[in-house]
Amino acid sequence: MRRHIIAANWKMNKTLANVREFLIKFVKWKNNTEMQVDIIICPPSIYLMEASTLLYNTDVKLSAQNIYFENAGAFTGEISAPMLKSIGCYYSIIGHSERRAYFHETDADVNKKLKALLENGMNAILCLGETLHQRENGETKNVVQAQLSADLYGIESRFFDNIIIAYEPIWAIGTGKTATPEDAEDVQKFIRQWIANKYNQTVANNLRILYGGSINHNNIAELISQPDIDGGLIGGASLDKNSFIKIVEIANRIIGGK
Ligand code: 13P
């Protein structure tokens, strides 16, 4: 039985005061709620240290939005896996489409970042997904398959306890256009099948595959009711604490009643 995840990707948003206010209120709410899902918060790296302190002794997981693949050295401006670990942050998003598009990250970079996380005993939220052009040309599954193959190159099955995959169709990110639950399920089922073929059925059955792209409190229920959608990676609708709490509440109710 896979435990669902609701993850907040704050991208490049919030001030320190906003972060404090959100996390203090969220933890208070969460402590009075029976949680049926796992929560991961991904703040900008400058706030990870503060967030780590505020989330200390809670079961809310903390994640970076990106890492560099070397452990240390002359890489001005970058942050490594061991640095994150040293502040109590054991997760990072890698391969987000915004990093691929604006910062020219390749699948080879994503693969090195994945290896850096896994070799340091950390967890990855590996993002992938197709552009609108690719979807309209019927290339979605080919694109996703190519990303899976390149991003997971050389990764052994024993590491899969530390990998979460997030399917994020680029045309659905920040656009208000959510993939229909059926479309998202179709691709996510394909991803699980690909993993089953490449590794084995147990790895595939245990792998948590999230959907991301314009999730909000109106569409979360239908999305996570799909058999291969094990939660959501949420951008815009995770910024406001009330909006995020509402999404978690709905997820708790749906998953609790499953
Ligand atoms: P939105 O929820 O704002 O569409 O962002 C999704 C996303 O990119 C999460 O990583």
**Alpha-carbon gap, residue 239 to 78, rounded angstroms:** 25
Spell out the domain ranges in the chain.
5-256
- Identify the band that residue 94 occupies on the pLDDT scale cut at 50, 70 and 90: very high
Q: Is the pTM of this model over 0.85?
A: yes
**Tokens representing 27?**
């933890």
Q: In this predicted model, what pLDDT tens digit does every residue of 112-128 receive, in sequence order?
A: 999 999 999 999 999 99
- Identify the band that residue 147 occupies on the pLDDT scale cut at 50, 70 and 90: very high
Three-class DSSP labels, the chain:
CCCCEEEEECCCCCCHHHHHHHHHHHHHHHHCCCCCCEEEEECCHHHHHHHHHHCCCCCCEEEECCCECCCCCCCCCCCEHHHHHHCCCCEEEECCHHHHHHCCCCHHHHHHHHHHHHHCCCEEEEEECCCHHHHHCCCHHHHHHHHHHHHCCCCCHHHHHHEEEEECCHHHCCCCCCCCHHHHHHHHHHHHHHHHHHCCHHHHHHCEEEEECCCCCCCHHHHHCCCCCCEEEECHHHCCHHHHHHHHHHHHHHHHCC
Confidence check: pLDDT of 143 > 70: yes
- Identify the band that residue 33 occupies on the pLDDT scale cut at 50, 70 and 90: very high
CATH number of the domain at 5-256, please? 3.20.20.70
Confidence check: pLDDT of 258 > 90: no
Does ligand 1 lie within 6 Å of residue 169's CB atom? no
* Residue located nearest, by CA, to atom 1 of ligand 1: 235
Region 70-78 average pLDDT: 98
The mean pLDDT value of the chain amounts to: 97
- Facing residues of 180 across strands? none
- Identify the band that residue 256 occupies on the pLDDT scale cut at 50, 70 and 90: confident
Does ligand 1 lie within 6 Å of residue 215's CB atom? yes
Pocket test for ligand 1, best of 14, 164, 168, 238 (most atoms within 8 A of CB): 168
**Ligand 1 atom nearest to CA at 42:** 10
Using only C-alpha atoms, what is the Rg of the chain? 17
**Alpha-carbon gap, residue 138 to 258, rounded angstroms:** 33
Does ligand 1 lie within 6 Å of residue 236's CB atom? yes
Residue-level pLDDT at 257 = 78
Task: Supply the residues annotated as catalytic.
Answer: 96, 168
Does ligand 1 lie within 6 Å of residue 212's CB atom? yes
Q: In this predicted model, what pLDDT tens digit does every residue of 188-224 receive, in sequence order?
A: 999 999 999 999 999 999 999 999 999 999 999 999 9
Hunting for tokens 């005061």 — which residue is that?
17
Give how far Cα 74 sits from Cα of 4, 78, 109, 118, Å. Answer: 39, 9, 18, 22
List phi, psi (to 5°) of 67. Answer: -140, 170
Least confident range from 57-71, 118-132, 168-182, 215-229: namely 168-182
Residue-level pLDDT at 154 = 98
Residue-level pLDDT at 207 = 98
* Residue located nearest, by CA, to atom 2 of ligand 1: 235
